[in-house]
Amino acid sequence: MLVNRVGVFFLLVGGFLLLLFVFSAQSEAGGVSALFLWGVMFFFLGAILWWRSPKPPKQPTERFRLLRQTGKKKNKGGENPANREKDQRRRPGPE
């Protein structure tokens, strides 16, 4: 997971350097080739690191587990309104 984050960082740095290269090429300043070379190098290194080690699947969260458990218990006891109506139709009423 750490390699993935480093890869994303290198992607961002390489993209920023390439963006600086584009802006410096438009303004005709010197030292443009160094920005291009470093930008491409960081971008490809970041892409390789990011591609070779994808993020692991997320674990299910334990947040609100008590609320989920109480919700499951309520539905198990025939508390569903459709089941309740069926149960009332089957029971013989007081006559």
CB of 14 closer than 8 Å to CB of 46: yes
Residue 43 and residue 16: Cα distance in Å, rounded? 9
Query: What pLDDT shows up at residue 63?
Result: 77
Question: Per-domain residue ranges for the chain?
Answer: 2-52
* pLDDT, tens digit (0-9, with 9 covering 90-100), for 28-78: 766 678 888 999 999 999 999 888 877 777 777 777 777 777 767 665 555
Q: Pick the residue with more confidence: 50 or 82?
A: 50
Give rounded-to-5 percent helix, strand, coil for the chain: 75, 0, 25
Query: What pLDDT shows up at residue 44?
Result: 94
Query: What pLDDT shows up at residue 29?
Result: 64
Question: Which residues, 6 or more positions from 4, have their beta carbon under 8 angstroms from its beta carbon?
Answer: 49, 50, 53, 54, 55
| Nearest Cα residue to 2 out of 43, 56, 38 | 56
